[in-house]
Amino acid sequence: MPIHGLDHMLVTIAVGMIAAQIGKRALWAIPSAFTVAVLLGGILNLMGIPMPLVEWGILASIVVFGGLLTAGSRISLALTAVVVALFAAMHGNALIANDGFVHNFPVFIAGCLFSAVVLQAIGIGLGLGLQKFSKLLVYRYAGFAMIAAAAVIGIFPDVNNCVLSLIEKGGH
């Protein structure tokens, strides 16, 4: 369910862009760290272990991932993977919950992970496509746009619900 809100979508696409920006091993390492951590965060929640301040962590992830995009590939792959994984666990903890609405958890979790992989692939495609332009400048603009989006979401939290509402109406 990364397609559940603008915050989750932005972060998941940014993961792919960050991987593309770093390149080489990051193209599989960063998305893998994200996907595994989303799953682990969700499993923690299913076990009754919610993460503290998860909504604030999700909002912070937009800012941090925007910062990673603006910083370029100057940060090590290992540190980037750890930061991505920590925030991904928060996203997974919020997305995969035993709230009574899901009747088939294995299918739901597979759908969550599949949609996360698709959004990361879109991010990788965007990132690789943007490299045709002034690489550093375009990534900086994307990073600043993410930080601006975090401010909008922080001030107007219902923006996330608008995205979900638009998706649901599109399916009718």
Q: How far apart are CA 20 and CA 40, in angstroms?
A: 24
Q: In the prediction, which pLDDT does 79 show?
A: 95
Mean pLDDT along residues 72-80: 88
Angle, helices 26-46 vs 105-130, to 10°: value is 150
**Which stretch of 57-71, 102-116, 155-169 has the lowest confidence by average pLDDT?**
155-169
Q: How would DSSP label each residue in 139-166? A: HHHHHHHHHHHHHHHHH-TTHHHHHHHH
Q: How far apart are CA 164 and CA 78, in angstroms?
A: 33
- Residue 148: CB atoms within 10 Å: 12
Confidence of residue 107 (pLDDT cuts 50, 70, 90): confident
**More confident call, 52 vs 104:** 52
pTM: 0.88
Asked whether the predicted pLDDT for residue 1 surpasses 60, the reply is no
The owner of tokens 């909504």 is 55
Q: In the prediction, which pLDDT does 137 show?
A: 82
Mean pLDDT along residues 35-46: 92
Q: In the prediction, which pLDDT does 4 show?
A: 67
Supply 2's token pair: 């990364």
Q: How far apart are CA 48 and CA 97, in angstroms?
A: 9
Task: Label residues 69-108 b or e (16+ Cβ within 10 Å = b).
Answer: bbbebeeebeebbebbbbbbbbbbbbbbeeeeeeeeeeeb
**More confident call, 138 vs 36:** 36
**More confident call, 75 vs 98:** 75
Helix (H), strand (E) counts: the chain: 7, 0
The pLDDT tens digits of the residues spanning 125-169 come to 999 998 877 666 888 899 999 999 999 999 988 887 776 677 667
State the chain's mean pLDDT as an integer. Answer: 87
Domain range list for the chain = 2-167
